[in-house]
Amino acid sequence: MINVEDLHKTYVMGDMEVHALRGVTLQITQGEMVAIMGPSGSGKSTMMDILGCLSKPTSGTYVLEEVNIGSVSDNRLAELRNRKIGFVFQSFNLLPRMSALHNVELPLIYAGTSRRERRRRAIQSLEAVQLGDRVHHKSNELSGGQIQRVAIARALVTDPAIIFADEPTGNLDSRTSTDIMNLFTELHATGNTIVLVTHEPDVASYCQRIIRLRDGVIESDEWIREMSPLAKEIHGERAISAPPTHSGDDD
């Protein structure tokens, strides 16, 4: 599904060059649930932008479902992003004056889906995140956890090949964060491919695999849950590391 080879990303800032990614190579297969971790400046947000087709690499190769992302036009990139990728953001990015239903319908409106079909699919997505009884509620009538569930429903509504979640629990309390991560786990169990960017070990521990970045390179790539048969075929047999323990406090 995702094949990255010797990926580099360099930003020019005045007379300076900032090397955000330095030769990253990785593969993510269909059905995996992966966490990308790292301290500030590690390159994890840049990696998410490139994997999510929001940015192109400076050099190296990124192939998403047999499409070389570095060689496509900006219009084609936008099409791939809208058709194959669902995003969940820390800040939710919902329209506050619109209902949950309308917020979830938005990607389908942009795709030109008929009104009847987009309503059906939006309600189905809201039901999948246990918000079937909140379809007409606006953001100010929902809790933080419910708002994030609406954002997840919006990511699901286009039936994407992969879901990218950037610090999806960053604005939530610990109990609500647990609920949201349990939801991601349920979605993964039904076959969804999910990639999370997080700095929280507790959040990463819900994933099968943790990739740690530092200074733009992969510092470690560990499996903490059993691989699927497809992942074993692609990655080979690897030892399963002990998952991070859930801590009660953030330091």
Write down the domain spans for the chain.
32-45+73-223
Mean pLDDT of the chain: 90
Residue at 188: amino acid letter: H
Taking the C-alpha atoms of residue 108 and residue 119, their distance in angstroms, rounded to an integer, is 9
Taking the C-alpha atoms of residue 243 and residue 200, their distance in angstroms, rounded to an integer, is 13
What pLDDT score was predicted for residue 241?
Answer: 59
Cβ-in-10-Å burial (0-12, 13-18, 19+) of 106 comes to middle
Q: What distances in angstroms separate CA 120 from CA 61, 98, 125, 130, 208, one per listed residue?
A: 38, 17, 9, 15, 32
Taking the C-alpha atoms of residue 246 and residue 64, their distance in angstroms, rounded to an integer, is 33
User: How does residue 140 score in pLDDT terms, banded at 50, 70 and 90?
Assistant: confident
Nearest to 91 by CA among 15, 158, 148: 148
Q: How many CB atoms lie within 10 A of CB 177?
A: 20
Q: Sort residue 43 into left (φ over 0), alpha (ψ -120 to 50) or beta.
A: left
Percent of the chain with pLDDT over 90: 75
Taking the C-alpha atoms of residue 12 and residue 74, their distance in angstroms, rounded to an integer, is 20
Q: What is the pTM (predicted TM-score) of this model?
A: 0.85
Mean pLDDT of 176-204: 93
Mean pLDDT of 48-73: 94
Nearest to 62 by CA among 43, 77, 83: 77
Contact 34, 212 (CB under 8 A): no
Q: Which fold has domain 32-45+73-223?
A: Rossmann fold (3.40.50)
Radius of gyration of the chain (CA): 18
What pLDDT score was predicted for residue 73?
Answer: 93
In the predicted model, is pLDDT for residue 250 greater than 60? no
Q: How far apart, in Å, do the first and last CA atoms of the chain sit?
A: 36
